[in-house]
Amino acid sequence: MDIRIYYEDTDCGGMVYYANYLKFFERARTQYLEERGLSVAGLMKEDTTFVVVHAEVDYRSSAHYGDWLTIETVISDMTAASFTFSHVIRDRESHRVIVEGSARLAAINGKGKVKRLDKATVAMLKFFPARSG
């Protein structure tokens, strides 16, 4: 997934504000799921919501206003009720690594209780292994 850095994404020094990388990860995860036919809204209607239970971010270099970035997203681990997305954000032109990170998501129902991923969801996620976003 490619994103352009706008003024609103930057801090007073013109670099991408550190917390915005988590937002970029979220966008990439949503696109990853939807490309595999797993609409977040559709899952919610089926009483399944994904919540982040752990996140890590390693900042490697800076990105600036006007840059184009590419986010590569894969599922690197899966259990019966959770899965981990791994992300690498690179400068689109130079391929320089800007940020690496991951987020572990758990499936919960409308009452906030952890629930197993259904077989259809697992199959859709496993059908499309490690792919660049």
**Active-site annotation holder among 11, 58, 77, 118:** 11
CB 130 within 8 A of CB 123: no
Q: Which of 115, 93, 103 is nearest to 47 (CA)?
A: 115
| 47 part of the active site | no
Amino acid type, 124? M
Residues 6+ apart with CB under 8 A from 98: 16, 59, 60, 61, 62, 63, 69, 89, 90, 91
Q: What is the CA radius of gyration of the chain?
A: 16
Tokens of residue 36, six digits:
């595999």
d(CA 133, CA 124): 16
Please identify every residue annotated as catalytic.
11
